[in-house]
């Protein structure tokens, strides 16, 4: 029986390139190669696509072959530069985070190509990437969202209009890149400048008092399931994922409690809310829903990640593993679901 040919896309031209490479390495360590034949397609920071032996080591300089993912449905795969070679694919696993990978861009190319792929489609990817749009959908679904304001590229902002503390965020960027906590009006201009390095559209949110919790959601052939809820235990400051020098050794100010040490009714509320948001936003395959759990037992949306990290220290695979789904099984379920959907 021939193996399923899966192209694993990783790297990317966005700020989350290094995180994506780490995710791909963890995928390489856990993918069932008896069932799947992986083709490792690394995208450099300048946007060049390279077919390499693996995501490990110095893959960019280890004689990779330039390739293009063809939008021609008749090709249904990769074109190798400088050759007449065509590599037909069965499925694509886009392990890409943030801009140019998690925002609908790659999903659009994959839709044109006709190749089935893991994860959310164009619309859900784009909406979830833009926090302002995700909040609008959440609010319409009856989910609480932080009080917030949108600041455009050239807009002059009166710093005294806000009630502090607030968080200033790029509206369409991943992880914690460009995020600042502002406690005084005098700090706002610098925070806006920092956020604008990543996006011309900036979100100013009033801080929500409560615990940060997350829920992994998996949509597969068995239906919609959730992982164990986690809680971010902060020692100081605010949670800044992927900003540490060596995140593999732990965060400088946060640890993760899995399963979360919260009341059973709160756990159920978090899981139910995550499923509601997953459906309302039109997600598919997987998503990590980040929420705030307030002292009076309510939940408030933080953000939704449509291709969460798969690194050794990432929250999504940790929550799924705690629920009895190790990464090897998770990858198989995601790929099988993508293939099954293409056959219908």
Phi and psi at 209, nearest 5°, equal -85, 115
Closest to 314 measured CA to CA, from 157, 175, 161, 152: 175
Distance CA 240, CA 244 (A): 8
Among this protein's residues, is 36 annotated catalytic? no
Distance CA 127, CA 133 (A): 6
Distance CA 278, CA 275 (A): 5
The active-site residue out of 36, 278, 313, 316 is 313
Distance CA 180, CA 194 (A): 8
Among this protein's residues, is 19 annotated catalytic? yes
Among this protein's residues, is 22 annotated catalytic? yes
The active-site residue out of 309, 315, 316, 333 is 309
Among this protein's residues, is 202 annotated catalytic? no
The active-site residue out of 25, 131, 172, 288 is 288
Tell me whether residue 117 is exposed, middle or buried, using C-beta atoms within 10 angstroms of its C-beta: 0 to 12, 13 to 18, 19 or more.
Answer: buried
Q: 43 vs 35, 46, 106, 231, CA distance in Å?
A: 25, 8, 12, 33
The active-site residue out of 8, 19, 258, 300 is 19
The active-site residue out of 17, 22, 135, 318 is 22
Among this protein's residues, is 248 annotated catalytic? yes
The active-site residue out of 135, 201, 242, 275 is 242
Distance CA 40, CA 51 (A): 6
Q: Where are the alpha helices (DSSP H) in 197-326?
A: 264-280, 315-322
The active-site residue out of 156, 186, 248, 265 is 248
Q: How many CB atoms lie within 10 A of CB 338?
A: 22
Among this protein's residues, is 242 annotated catalytic? yes
The active-site residue out of 97, 169, 201, 275 is 97
Q: Which residues are catalytic?
A: 19, 22, 97, 242, 248, 288, 309, 313
């Amino acid at each position: 029986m021939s193996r399923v040919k899966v192209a694993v896309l990783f790297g990317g031209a966005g700020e989350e390139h290094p995180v994506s490479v780490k995710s791909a390495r963890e995928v390489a360590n856990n993918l069932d190669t008896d069932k799947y034949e992986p083709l490792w397609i690394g995208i450099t920071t300048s946007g060049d696509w390279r077919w390499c032996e693996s995501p490990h080591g110095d893959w960019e300089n280890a004689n990779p072959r330039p390739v293009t993912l063809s939008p021609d449905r008749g090709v249904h795969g990769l074109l190798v530069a400088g050759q007449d070679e065509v590599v037909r694919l069965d499925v694509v696993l886009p392990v890409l985070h943030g801009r140019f990978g998690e925002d609908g861009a790659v999903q659009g190319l994959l839709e044109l190509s006709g190749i089935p792929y893991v994860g959310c489609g164009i619309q859900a990817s784009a909406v979830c990437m833009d926090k302002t749009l995700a909040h609008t959908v959440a609010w319409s679904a009856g989910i609480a969202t932080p009080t917030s304001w949108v600041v455009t590229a050239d807009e002059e902002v009166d710093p005294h209009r806000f009630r502090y503390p607030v968080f200033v965020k790029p509206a369409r960027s991943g992880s914690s890149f460009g995020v600042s906590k502002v406690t005084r009006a005098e700090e706002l201009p610098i925070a806006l400048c920092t956020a604008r390095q990543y996006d011309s559209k900036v979100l100013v949110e009033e801080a929500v008092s409560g615990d940060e919790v997350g829920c992994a959601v998996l949509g597969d052939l068995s239906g919609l399931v959730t992982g164990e809820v986690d809680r971010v235990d902060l020692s100081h400051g605010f949670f800044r994922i992927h900003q540490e020098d060596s995140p593999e050794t732990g965060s400088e100010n946060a640890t993760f409690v899995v399963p979360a040490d919260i009341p059973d009714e709160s756990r159920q509320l978090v899981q139910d809310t995550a499923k509601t948001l997953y459906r309302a936003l039109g997600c598919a395959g997987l998503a990590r829903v980040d929420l705030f759990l307030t002292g009076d037992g309510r939940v408030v949306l933080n953000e939704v990640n449509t291709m969460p990290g798969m690194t050794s220290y990432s929250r999504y695979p940790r929550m799924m593993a705690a629920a009895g789904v190790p990464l090897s099984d998770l990858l198989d379920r995601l790929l099988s679901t993508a293939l099954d959907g293409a056959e219908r």
